[in-house]
Amino acid sequence: MHNEKDMNPVRLYKNMVGDYLKRNREMRGYTQFEVCDGICSVSTLSRIEAGEEVISFPMAEVIMSRMEIELSECEFFLAGEDSSMYERREEIKLLFEKEEYEKAKECLEVYWNEYGTKDICRQFFYFWSAVLEERKLQPDRKKKKELLLKAIEITVPDYLNKLENKALLSSIELECVVELISCEEDLNKKEQRYEEFYTYFRWKQSRESFFPVAYRKFLKYYAECLYENKKYDQCIRICDEAITELYGTSKEENRWHLFYRRAKAREGRGRKEEEEKKLCLSDLLAAYYVSSFYYGEEKMESLKKYIEEEYEWQFIS
């Protein structure tokens, strides 16, 4: 229960983040250890919660993410090193979105030089270096996996065990796991690992948690894996779920690919009904028009040709 003392402005100001973390942790029934394991010591978190130690923004972000606090509902005013670090990270993410990989690589190197001594920052560096490797024309899968392992082992060295035991993981930790599973070469093993991960997310859903970006990414990869294993009905179901999850989000997030995948899965199951064909065409057109809008018509020329030939569709010219 809250009283006037809790609303004391000076006390509030000096202990805002700590107080907020403690209150949310206790409301959700988590121990300090569960929330901070691998990020900081329990005694450090105690001091932070008591307002005796200042928490850095990256650390606060990761802890809040582990506690499934809806980050879009929080606002931070950053200053000093926190502010410059945040700006650097956002610059890197934007360069990846714009596919300016050479510049992204340069920025990552600067980021490493400036902040590489901090664990949370090294995790960020290794993760995005792995993404950079993935985006190369000829990615080195082994190198990608090594970088992802370096990233995840900074805060969750026993991540498989943690997943089995339904431990708390932050958004970036979950993304690392998703990417690691995607590196698995054995398709059946990959599917099994995705299925286990799906169970983990279902458990989170039962706790009325908000789902991070990692979940949407996971669903896309899972759909791909099911398609590769020719499990078309399941693939369609996962695509349906991913598309619905994306409703109401403001960024494109490569969702065009889900419509494409769903269409291909429908084609794969070989039903001849007119309705099925119409659904395939509708999804392929959605995929084409969304992707060509954001990524250019030239890049999607092969998809356009495919639709014209397979469905005898006439595009506007």
Partner 1 sequence: MAIYQLGKCIRMMREALRMTQEQMVEWYTIKEEGKYNFTKVNMDLKEGYKRYDICSAQVLRRIENDTARRIKAEVLFGLMEKIGVLPEQFYASIMADEPWALNLKAQIYTHMCQGEYEKAEKVLLKLKPMMVPGYPRNKQYLMQTEAIIAYHKKNIDVQEYLNVLFAALRQTVPMLDEIDIAEWPWNGEEFCILISIAYAYHSIKDREKELEFLLKLKKNVERKYMELSYYTVWHTWILVKLSSLMCMENKRDKSMEYCEVGIMECKEFKILGSIHYLLYDSVWCKEQRLREGFLPEDRSVLEEQESQIKKERVFCKKRLVHAYYLSKVQGDFYNTERIKRLWEKYYPNETKLI
Element of type H or E holding 32: helix 32-36
Does 309 contact partner 1 by CB under 8 A?
Answer: no
SS3 label, residue 313: coil
Nearer to partner 1, 184 or 306 (CB): 306
The conformation of residue 210, written as its DSSP 8-state character, comes to P
CA-to-CA separations, 71 to 147, 163, 213, in angstroms, rounded: 27, 22, 11
Nearer to partner 1, 90 or 109 (CB): 90
Nearer to partner 1, 185 or 251 (CB): 251
**Amino acid, single-letter form, for residue 257:** H
Q: Which of 244, 182, 173 is nearest to 214 (CA)?
A: 173
CB of 7 vs partner 1, minimal distance in Å: 5
Does 205 contact partner 1 by CB under 8 A?
Answer: no
Residues in Cβ contact with 98 at an 8 Å cutoff, skipping those fewer than 6 apart? none
Q: Which two tokens stand for residue 57?
A: 């923004």
Does 206 contact partner 1 by CB under 8 A?
Answer: no
Does 1 contact partner 1 by CB under 8 A?
Answer: yes
Long-range CB pairs of 251-254 (<8 Å, 24+ gap) are: 252/290, 252/294, 253/213, 253/216, 254/220
CA max distance for the chain: 72
Q: Which of 251, 252, 254 is nearest to 221 (CA)?
A: 254
Residue 111's Cα: distance from chain center in Å? Answer: 21
Choosing from 35, 214, 286, 307, the residue that interacts with partner 1 (CB under 8 A) is: 286
CB of 285 vs partner 1, minimal distance in Å: 7
CB of 72 vs partner 1, minimal distance in Å: 6
What is the rounded distance in angstroms from the CA atom of residue 317 to the CA atom of residue 301? Answer: 14
Give the angle 178-181-185 at the CA atoms, nearest 5°: 150
Nearer to partner 1, 83 or 199 (CB): 83
CB of 127 vs partner 1, minimal distance in Å: 18
Does 259 contact partner 1 by CB under 8 A?
Answer: yes
Q: How many CB atoms lie within 10 A of CB 143?
A: 14
CB of 208 vs partner 1, minimal distance in Å: 5
Segment near partner 1 (CB under 8 A); pick from 85-93, 105-113, 143-151, 156-164: 85-93
Does 12 contact partner 1 by CB under 8 A?
Answer: yes
Does 136 contact partner 1 by CB under 8 A?
Answer: no
Choosing from 117, 138, 165, 317, the residue that interacts with partner 1 (CB under 8 A) is: 317
Does 135 contact partner 1 by CB under 8 A?
Answer: no
Choosing from 132, 214, 243, 265, the residue that interacts with partner 1 (CB under 8 A) is: 243
Give the angle 98-265-259 at the CA atoms, nearest 5°: 35
* Residue 172 and residue 65 in contact, taking contact as beta carbons nearer than 8 Å: yes
**Going residue by residue from 91 to 110, which x/- string records binding to partner 1, judged by CB under 8 A?**
---x--xx------------
CB of 290 vs partner 1, minimal distance in Å: 6
Does 165 contact partner 1 by CB under 8 A?
Answer: no
Which positions lie near partner 1, rule CB under 8 A?
Answer: 1-2, 4, 6-7, 9-10, 12-14, 16-17, 20, 24, 27-28, 60-61, 69-81, 83-84, 86-87, 90, 94, 97-98, 208, 210, 243-244, 246-253, 255-256, 259, 278, 281-282, 285-286, 289-290, 293-294, 314, 316-317
